[in-house]
A and B are shown apart, each in its own frame.
Chain A
């Protein structure tokens, strides 16, 4: 397969964006749960959506990473948002629309989106 000059430009632009995202540090950590259950439930779209918002806002103080199954497979896709010096908040049953609100209100605005957060009593003891 041969690469054309425009392919190289596209790869260069993409890698530049990737490098900026890889260097994110500091104020907020977003963890998308990427166990088999999460991936099968749409976690890649959730991660992709968070990345899109980070790129759009050009935020450089956000760390984004993944973790394994959190043991609440029926509530996937899930993500945890942790602001510096504040307790982590686990969001469940996510969609791309929910991610938009969580990003605007919690990640950028510092206000927890309570209606999407894991509520007391939603975990079942089996």
Chain B
């Protein structure tokens, strides 16, 4: 993936496939703390704790007939390479929240890319789902 907005699109498509009716995307650019935080929260079917642990394994997928699931592992790798990490919180009753953090100034952090365009595409192609997008910038 060339930029973070493409990862975001990929994870949001997972939310769509998980039956979410609402997907909240939140990005916080914290310059004083040298931190970039990308959060995707949905109200889809969620994962139990065993599935959640396996979600970071690229050779695991919950999709029938498939052998690999690269979306979350690729975002986790991008976060690690950008000096951050990925955290998953999920509950079968409530949905899933994926938070990827990056060091804002890290030379290997991927560029943000076109987040506005990505959210607009999600809104157009899935009119039955409510997408929200919040961007916060904390400046020095």
Contacts and interface: CB of A to CB of B under 8 A. Distances in A.
Interface of A: 1, 14, 18, 21-23, 32, 34-37, 39-40, 44, 47-48, 51, 64-66, 68-69, 71
Given A1-B137, A34-B13, A68-B63, A40 B125 contact: no
6 contacts: A14-B120, A36-B70, A40-B74, A44-B6, A64-B124, A69-B66
A4 to B, nearest CB: 16
A18 B126 CA distance: 11
Given A22-B127, A40-B6, A47 B13 contact: no
Interface of B: 1, 6, 9-10, 13, 16-17, 63, 65-66, 69-71, 74, 117-118, 120-121, 123-127, 135-137
A40 B1 contact: yes
Contact of B124 (A34, A36, A37, A51): A51
Interface of B is mostly: helix
A34 B9 contact: yes
Interface centre among A14, A39, A65 (most CB of B within 10 A): A39
B45 to A, nearest CB: 15
Interface centre among A1, A32, A65, A66 (most CB of B within 10 A): A66
B9 A44 contact: yes
B128 to A, nearest CB: 10
A65 B126 contact: yes
Contacts of B118: 44
Contacts of A51: 121, 124
Nearest to B63: A68
Contacts of A71: 65-66
Nearest to A51: B124
A48 B117 contact: yes
Contacts of B16: 66
B120 A18 contact: yes
A51 to B, nearest CB: 7
